[in-house]
Amino acid sequence: MTWLITGGAGYIGAHVVRAMTAAGEAAVVYDDLSTGIAARVPDGVPLVPGSTLDRERVTRVLTEHGITGVVHLAAKKQVGESVEQPLRYYRENVEGLRVLLDAVTEAGVGTFVFSSSAAVYGMPDVDLVTEETPCVPLSPYGETKLAGEWLVRAAGRAAGLSTACLRYFNVAGAAAPGLADVGVFNLVPMVFERLTLNVPPRVFGDDYPTPDGTCVRDYIHVVDLAEAHVAAARALRSSPGRALTLNIGRGEGVSVREMIDRINAVTGHDLSPEVVPRRPGDPARVVASADRAAAELGWKARHDVQDMITSAWQGWVRLHPEAERH
């Protein structure tokens, strides 16, 4: 098979490309390079610049490269930005997906893996989030991911497309320093940025109903996440007609305060966090049940939080050499 990986020059996408090619799968990257970095795409993997909103270009890449499966990661993904620009997020994430699915089904592509998010759940009041936990997203970003799942499943039923919707939890780490996340939107790089400035990391609220009062999250190494895509792609190929919806996490919660302590230890800093007011919409605890992914894919996360922090820090220092001077 030949896989089209949309968003394959992005942080997660580049890891998926690497995992797919390492597993012997042929890949083609389609990316508008608005946030993706062309240098992340491995030698020998074609990179086609383009938007999923460009139906003519999407059809051309599917045809010219003989695409037989798609892994769709291209999307806008900043929660706060989605609140400010909901129409842009619906256009890019939902309409872009609709255009892609239209081209995919017309071209007779048989397999589709969709990048979803734990943001579809909103503020779940459960210890472990299962795939049956009600989806009540709190942001336009989360709404677009849930709507995307509906589109993928509906198109799959109508066209006989094998589909998998993978709900990512908190992604961190890197396979190599050059593949590290360059954005500062998630906890780990946000703490790195504060440490680099030699100022205390921020904790948004310490009065949650959790053991230490700070939010608890499930962190997944980006390498494990990428391997989950390979497992999903192969599961769909070996059993046509399947429709999977799976949490991709470790099933282990770590609090914000614990993460900051571990980051301090790995980076050699000793800055106590500064507690600031809660952010609106932050749930106290969001931890995955990953049992279904294990059962359906034979997949389980292999890397721990230490691996995530260490590999992410190496990538951060590569981009910010001054970080090691403190």
**Of the candidates 118, 122, 173, the residue with the CA atom closest to the CA atom of residue 289:** 118
On the question of pLDDT at 326 being above 60, the answer is no
Question: How high is the mean pLDDT of the chain?
Answer: 96
User: Could you tell me the pLDDT band of residue 60, with boundaries at 50, 70 and 90?
Assistant: very high
For residue 33, give the 3-state DSSP assignment. Answer: coil
User: Could you tell me the pLDDT band of residue 80, with boundaries at 50, 70 and 90?
Assistant: confident
Classify residue 318 by its DSSP letter.
H
Query: What pLDDT shows up at residue 137?
Result: 95
**Of the candidates 231, 251, 269, 268, the residue with the CA atom closest to the CA atom of residue 305:** 251
Name the CATH superfamily for 173-218+251-325: UDP-galactose 4-epimerase, domain 1 (3.90.25.10)
Residue 2 near residue 69 (C-beta atoms within 8 A): yes
pTM of the model: 0.96
CATH assignment, 2-171+219-248: 3.40.50.720
Each residue's pLDDT tens digit, 82-133: 999 999 999 999 999 999 999 999 999 999 999 999 999 999 989 999 999 9
| End-to-end alpha carbon distance in the chain | 49
Query: What pLDDT shows up at residue 321?
Result: 92
Residue 244 near residue 232 (C-beta atoms within 8 A): yes
Each residue's pLDDT tens digit, 287-309: 999 999 999 999 999 999 999 99
Q: What is the signed CA dihedral for 53, 55, 60, 66, rounded to 10 degrees? A: 80
What average pLDDT does range 244-271 have in this prediction? 96
- Cα–Cα distance for residue pair 151/130, rounded to 1 Å: 21
Residues of the chain with CATH 3.90.25.10: 173-218+251-325
Q: H or E segment at 82?
A: helix 79-84
The residues annotated as belonging to the active site are 141
User: Could you tell me the pLDDT band of residue 283, with boundaries at 50, 70 and 90?
Assistant: confident
What average pLDDT does range 207-225 have in this prediction? 97
Classify residue 292 by its DSSP letter.
H
